[in-house]
């Protein structure tokens, strides 16, 4: 039963992350996500066959670490009033919803100490901070785009997936230590 709860926490943490991107884009004038049916809690709308099904199963059985993604929520920057500023808001929406969910799970854990709530806290911290890395296609790269020339960003985009793999292979232990620090700080409040 615990595994089912953990699965749903992970699934809906990812789905809410993606919906928040589309919702902020919608609020800022872009209806793309709404027209594509992506402002829904229905998991089928967010499943990417490779990133949501195949890769997580492969990485779980080969490394013990689950890695994957949902279908990114599309938006059209030409529909935004201020594309540069609004793109940052849209990018930050996903990590911010994960931080909010982490705080909710912290509150639940404080009321009823349970590994399921602790998992909810941790997975949302991982989702928030991992997505803030300035590596394309992660959300942090959209913020980076406003600070570097487009040509450099396009070059990084070519190797984004490789950079993510390198980060996971060589820097994930440090990232995990950082998540431990944040988690312990939040739990100490």
Catalytic site residue from 18, 36, 151, 157: 18
The pLDDT tens digits for 109-167 are 999 999 999 999 999 999 999 999 999 999 999 888 888 888 888 989 999 989 998 99
Q: Is position 18 annotated as part of the catalytic site?
A: yes
Instruction: Give the total residue count for the chain.
Output: 189
- State the Cα–Cα distance between residues 136 and 140, nearest whole angstrom: 8
Q: Evaluate whether 46 touches 70 at the Cβ level (below 8 Å).
A: yes
Could you tell me the pTM of the whole model?
0.92
pLDDT at 64 over 70: no
């Amino acid at each position: 039963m615990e595994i089912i709860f953990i699965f749903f926490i992970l699934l809906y943490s990812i789905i809410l992350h993606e919906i928040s991107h589309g919702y902020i884009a919608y609020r800022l004038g872009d209806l793309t996500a709404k027209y594509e049916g992506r402002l829904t809690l229905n998991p089928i709308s967010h499943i990417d066959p490779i990133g949501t099904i195949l890769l997580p199963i492969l990485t779980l059985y080969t490394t013990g670490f689950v890695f994957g993604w949902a279908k990114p929520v599309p938006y059209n920057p030409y529909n935004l009033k201020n594309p540069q500023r609004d793109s940052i808001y849209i990018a930050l929406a996903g990590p911010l919803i994960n931080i909010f969910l982490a705080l909710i799970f912290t509150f639940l854990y404080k009321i009823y100490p349970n590994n399921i709530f602790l998992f909810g806290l941790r997975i949302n911290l991982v989702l928030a901070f991992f997505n803030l890395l300035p590596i394309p296609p992660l959300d942090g790269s959209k913020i980076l785009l406003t600070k570097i020339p487009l040509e450099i960003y396009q070059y990084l985009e070519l190797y984004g997936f490789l950079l993510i793999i390198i980060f996971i292979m060589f820097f994930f232990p440090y990232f995990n230590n950082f998540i431990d620090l944040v988690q312990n700080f939040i739990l100490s409040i």
